[in-house]
Structure 1
Amino acid sequence: MSKHHELFESIRKRTGMYFQEPTYSAVAAFVLGYDTAHEGGVLSGFKEWLVLQLGTGSNLTWTALVLHAAFPDEPSPQDAVVSSPATQRQAIESLFNLIAEFHETRANRDGLRKIFVSYDYWIKQQGLE
């Protein structure tokens, strides 16, 4: 995972070098494409982990869940992110912080399995199965 971590840290530090428009939308699209190019292996379990962290949002994509984590008090996080360059930066920082936390959790012994088992249990507790 270190090559992914190095790339994501480089993008975090020098977002403007990688993107003409350094927006959350552009960065999230890149991360999604990067994950797709790695056959979904980089972010496998990320959505489920985010749902467990937030305690809600099983019907949302990980891109939307990151915004809910970045702007927890906003009624519409998707609207909040576009309000200024500062909120764009906040969303980008949140994305990379969350990915780093997720990868730490996933790197633990049976980390990915534990995420999926916990998510399954959470879904059943919510009556969403």
Structure 2
Amino acid sequence: MTVQAIPVDLLLVNLKLKPSMFFLDGSFAQYVAFFSGFNVSSEATEIPLLEGFTEWITARTRSGYNLTWPALVLWSIWPEWNGSVSDWRKLDATSDKEAVRVLFKLLGAFKGVDPAAPGPTDTEGAP
């Protein structure tokens, strides 16, 4: 029996539109945990989802060389972000939605797919 990987665009659309299908509440903190765990498990199957993502965001923002990818996502929205992990777990509802929107936008651009299916995390504006 051969296991086939789910296409990245399908994974991103389903995660964005139906987070509860993956036992997530749709918050930035839970998406960070999911993608971090998914990346670790995908490295074992040689299909790393986030390989190079930190470097890609760093090159795109031209700063934040010492930050993790979740902090870089937030830093791309709010350049004054201090990079503290404890702070991004306490985002207010509006900021959390924006962080999720930008996370999916950046992941889609990084992977060359369009997870822009309309959903509850869409808001107007761009980073």
Report the TM-score, using the length of structure 2 for normalisation.
Answer: 0.68
- 1:81 touches 1:87 (CA, 8 Å); kept in 2? no
**In 1, distance between residues paired with 2:97 and 2:21?**
14
**In 2, distance between residues paired with 1:34 and 1:90?**
22
Question: Unpaired segments of 5 or more residues in structure 1?
Answer: 106-129
- 2:57 touches 2:72 (CA, 8 Å); kept in 1? yes
- Two-structure CA RMSD over aligned residues (Å): 2.5
2:90 aligned to 82, 87, 95, which one?
82
Bigger relative contact order, structure 1 or 2, given CA contacts below 8 A and separation 6+? 2
Pairing of 1:1-129 with structure 2 (within 5 A): 3-19=7-23, 21-39=25-43, 41-72=48-79, 74-76=80-82, 79=87, 82-104=90-112
Number of equivalences: 104
Letter in 1 for 2:78: F
Question: Unpaired segments of 5 or more residues in structure 2?
Answer: 114-127
Query: Deviations 1:44-87 (Å, cap 9, x if unpaired)?
Result: 11110100111101111111101111223x44475477342121
- Identity, in percent, stands at 28
The ranges of structure 1 where at least 4 consecutive aligned residues each deviate by more than 6 angstroms after the TM superposition are: none
Report the TM-score, using the length of structure 1 for normalisation.
Answer: 0.67
